[in-house]
């Protein structure tokens, strides 16, 4: 049960921080105003979920229940391991993001949100890699996290817009333009995810051990993640080249329905990928 809570906390925290960075990034690229209340909730949620993740990590490491918390072990983790500085940086970034959002400047949230999201690289396998290899691994992981956040934020905005879309309205052209303009951003995101993902895989597993993944749980979960990523790529291409142009066809209602389904499946696949990443981060690659 403790492992499940830890994975759940990691999943919720990753989604929260991805949205906190991804939403203002997409709003900035698209020239949109943004929503202050959403960012305020995400910043507060990031703090609460970080605390839950800490308590779940302590419980998993010590074999004790989460409630009541083992405060002595938590204090050791915070003061004698890199977890303390990582959470301090994240907490400061989230407070700054909360301040910017509360002041009605949602686009400025992007910078502290990017810092908060980057701290996730120090709480997974990249955080355990040492020396220069560790620096390269963490840099690749940060790039991977930022690219994923950009995609998640874009999906959230696009899905919301398409679900509310009705034929023969002024919103049709605006949504079509938004989808078309996302093409360049999406290409950069995919390229970053692929390059950084390859670097991360080599750093975590090693080239010589790659064949051994087929016999491990880690390998099977990683394979599922890659299959879902391929599905997302296919759906993104379908959205760009077939469904978006169809919005201006003689049958927009059908195009909207297909686009809604495609974005729902793509978003579901993204959430499933984050769930797998949350699980993979608790496993030994060769275990």
CA 85 to chain centre: 22
Which pLDDT band holds residue 65 (cuts at 50, 70, 90)?
A: confident
Helix (H, G, I), strand (E, B) or coil at 63: coil
pLDDT at 168: 63
* 66's tokens: 């989460």
Q: Which residues contact 279 (CB under 8 A, 6 or more apart)?
A: 7, 221
How many angstroms separate the CA atoms of 217 and 206, rounded? 16
Q: Which of 16-30, 130-144, 158-172 has the highest mean pLDDT?
A: 16-30
Residue with the two structure tokens 């949504």: 175
* 9's tokens: 């906390």
Q: Is there a contact between 73 and 58 (Cβ–Cβ < 8 Å)? A: yes
How many angstroms separate the CA atoms of 25 and 147, rounded? 11
How many angstroms separate the CA atoms of 108 and 201, rounded? 33
Kindly list the domain boundaries of the chain, sorted by start residue.
1-123, 131-287
For residue 97, give Cα distances in angstroms to 94, 268, 269. Answer: 5, 27, 28
- What is the tens place of the pLDDT at every residue in 120-146? 999 887 777 777 878 898 999 999 999
**pTM of the entire predicted model:** 0.92
How many angstroms separate the CA atoms of 31 and 43, rounded? 22
pLDDT at 217: 87
Q: Is there a contact between 273 and 233 (Cβ–Cβ < 8 Å)? A: no
């Amino acid at each position: 049960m403790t492992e499940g809570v830890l994975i759940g906390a990691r999943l919720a925290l990753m989604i929260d921080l991805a949205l906190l960075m991804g939403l203002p990034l997409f709003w900035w690229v698209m020239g949109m105003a943004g929503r202050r209340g959403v960012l305020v909730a995400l910043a507060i949620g990031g703090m609460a979920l970080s605390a839950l993740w800490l308590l779940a990590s302590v419980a998993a490491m010590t074999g004790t229940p989460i409630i009541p918390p083992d405060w002595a072990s938590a204090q050791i983790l915070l003061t004698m391991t890199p977890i303390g500085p990582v959470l301090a940086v994240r907490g400061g970034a989230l407070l700054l993001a909360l301040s910017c959002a509360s002041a009605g400047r949602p686009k400025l949230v992007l910078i502290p949100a990017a810092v908060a999201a980057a701290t996730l690289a120090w709480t997974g396998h990249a955080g355990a890699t040492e020396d220069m290899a560790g620096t390269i691994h963490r840099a690749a992981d940060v790039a991977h996290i930022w690219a994923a956040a950009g995609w998640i934020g874009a999906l959230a905005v696009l899905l919301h817009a398409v679900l509310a879309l009705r034929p023969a309205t002024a919103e049709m052209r605006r949504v079509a333009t938004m989808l078309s303009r996302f093409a360049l951003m999406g290409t950069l995101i995919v390229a970053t995810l692929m390059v950084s993902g390859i670097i991360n895989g080599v750093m975590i597993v090693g080239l010589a051990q790659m064949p051994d993944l087929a016999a491990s749980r880690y390998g099977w979960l990683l394979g599922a993640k890659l299959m879902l990523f391929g599905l997302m790529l296919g759906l993104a291409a379908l959205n760009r080249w077939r469904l978006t142009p169809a919005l201006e066809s003689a049958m927009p209602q059908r195009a909207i329905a297909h686009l809604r389904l495609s974005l729902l499946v793509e978003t579901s696949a993204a959430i499933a990928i984050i769930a797998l990443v949350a699980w993979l981060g608790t496993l030994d690659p060769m275990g």
